[in-house]
Homo-oligomer: A and B are copies of this chain.
Amino acid sequence: MTAQPSPEPADRAHPVAPADRAVPTDRAGLPELRITTVTVTPVAFREPPLLNAVGVHEPYALRAVVEVATDQGLTGLGETTADEGHLERLRTAAGAVTGLPVHALSRMRARVAAALGGRTGSDLHGLTGPITAASTVDRVFSPLEVACLDVQGRAAGRPVSDLLGGRVRDEVPYSAYLFHKWAGHPGGPPDDWGEAVDTAGILAQARRMVDAYGFTALKLKGGVRPPQEEADTVLALHEAFPGLPLRLDPNAAWTPETALATARRLEGVLEYLEDPTPGLDGMARVAAGTAIPLATNMCVTAFEHLPPAVARRSVRIVLADHHYWGGLHRSRLLAGICDTFGLGLSMHSNAHLGISLAAMTHLAAASPELTHACDTHWPWRTEDVIEPGVLALADGAVRVPTGPGLGVELDRDALARLHEQYLACGLRTRDDTGYLRRTDPSYRRRTPRW
């Protein structure tokens, strides 16, 4: 868990009682907002066949909507992934936190950790780096924390960003998220976006993204075509969109040698190169050999990865993701660590719905440490669980909601419809590799591939 030698206290009686040994009581009799029920509703929403280094997105993305209800009648919202194992852990955690006040976030996290008992999650798709017991706690705790902050904000009449130190910007910049993609899902009709399996396809997609949403930064999901071809595409984007910061994310599909050779062609062109190669050591080797800053959402995905990453100088930018990093307060901690240790800060995104976009936007708004526009899959989704009107992507940015809490409301009809879709679609765990292999049985996942 630590990079430092023997930080244990000396062999003396330990004067500080462990947290959560005694449950605090509310002696002054202030009305507390105690959790009465936690409802976890898995949903599925349609997704295009987006390609990445380990396969292709299935027809539906799975998410879970978390509703935290309190004894004062206020309810808060959270959103997270919905792989079967994660759902099961989330339900275990939900039982453990029921009865706690919504302000007791540190005790809540300790209860979640105790309830999970050291269990470690996994990602079948393998895109999020090594998962540990501690980072599993953070992943499970996150939607509960967000929902409790939603309640706190509603109770206080303040937006969630105000609970995190207050917003430092009215609009949060997001980057276009360009994907290689098929024209449509196998056996189905072409979707609205059409095929993008070469430079021309990506350029057309980027043009439409920029025209429709005003993006001022472009990210290309790579690791799909051979590295030199993807570098060609980046150079073409550079020419077509002069002045727009560009990022490339091959999801660790390259060896350090390939990464260094490819980076050589992209110096002065890329704003940053995200996870070109696996592991802290490989990343450090690449970092030492290129002027392009390396960013990560794969080799630094939990607090315990930070000390070795700092010591080895593996990365210069960390992509925060409150779903992985234990919620909004702990993502603020990550931001402060990055600032303290001279690391830049951007934001990662999985496929998500409006509750997550609201949380991401409040977090980014309240983070002076943010140095780069955030990622979002938002334009790719065509369905949602929140009432429309509050969140919109224009001029490459989302205006920060200013209503109480997250500022978004659940659309119960939509929630019911997407839950039905979850029940009907049959998907229970994200499996990009398996889905690609149904089209191409010869496909094998290899990291690195080139």
**A interface residues with partner B (beta carbon < 8 Å):** 1-7, 9-17, 19-22, 24-28, 30-31, 101, 103-108, 110, 152, 155-159, 162-163, 165-170, 173, 175, 216-217, 243-246, 268, 270-272, 291-293, 303-304, 306-307, 310-311, 313, 316, 329-330, 332-333, 336-337, 339-344, 366, 368, 370-373, 396, 400-404, 407
Contacts and interface: CB of A to CB of B under 8 A. Distances in A.
Contact of A336 (B271, B337, B373, B403): B337
A47 to B, nearest CB: 26
A246 B271 CA distance: 52
Interface of A is mostly: loop
Nearest to A332: B333
A103 B30 CA distance: 21
Contact of A343 (B7, B24, B103, B246): B7
B329 A165 contact: yes
Given A103-B162, A245-B13, A7 B342 contact: yes
B169 A17 contact: yes
A110 to B, nearest CB: 7
Contacts of A1: 342
21 contacts: A4-B310, A7-B316, A9-B272, A10-B268, A14-B371, A15-B245, A15-B372, A16-B371, A19-B368, A28-B402, A30-B402, A30-B403, A101-B162, A104-B162, A104-B167, A106-B166, A106-B167, A108-B166, A163-B163, A336-B336, A337-B337
A173 B17 CA distance: 9
5 A-B pairs with the lowest CB-CB distances in the bound complex, closest first: A2-B342, A19-B168, A4-B342, A103-B162, A104-B166
B110 A168 contact: yes
A146 to B, nearest CB: 14
Contact of A105 (B28, B106, B166, B342): B166
A311 B311 contact: yes
Contacts of A24: 167-170, 400
Given A19-B368, A30-B159, A106-B168, 13 more contacts: A9-B344, A10-B291, A13-B245, A15-B373, A16-B371, A17-B169, A19-B168, A22-B169, A24-B400, A101-B166, A103-B158, A107-B166, A310-B310
A159 B366 CA distance: 22
Contacts of A403: 28, 30
Contacts of A341: 2-4, 306-307
A7 B340 CA distance: 11
B22 A170 contact: yes
A250 to B, nearest CB: 17
A175 B313 contact: no
A25 B168 contact: no
A322 B13 CA distance: 26
A244 B13 contact: yes
A175 B307 CA distance: 31
Nearest to A304: B340
Contacts of A30: 157-159, 402-404
A110 B167 CA distance: 12
A306 B340 contact: yes
A291 to B, nearest CB: 8
A172 B219 CA distance: 48
A371 B9 contact: yes
Nearest to A270: B10
A192 to B, nearest CB: 27
A11 B342 contact: no
Contact of A9 (B175, B310, B372, B400): B372
B2 A168 contact: no
Contact of A344 (B7, B108, B310): B7
B5 A292 contact: no
Find the residue from A7, A28, A170, A396 having the highest chain B CB count within 10 A.
A7
B307 A310 contact: yes
A173 B16 CA distance: 7
A103 B169 contact: no
A256 to B, nearest CB: 19
A296 B62 CA distance: 48
A433 to B, nearest CB: 32
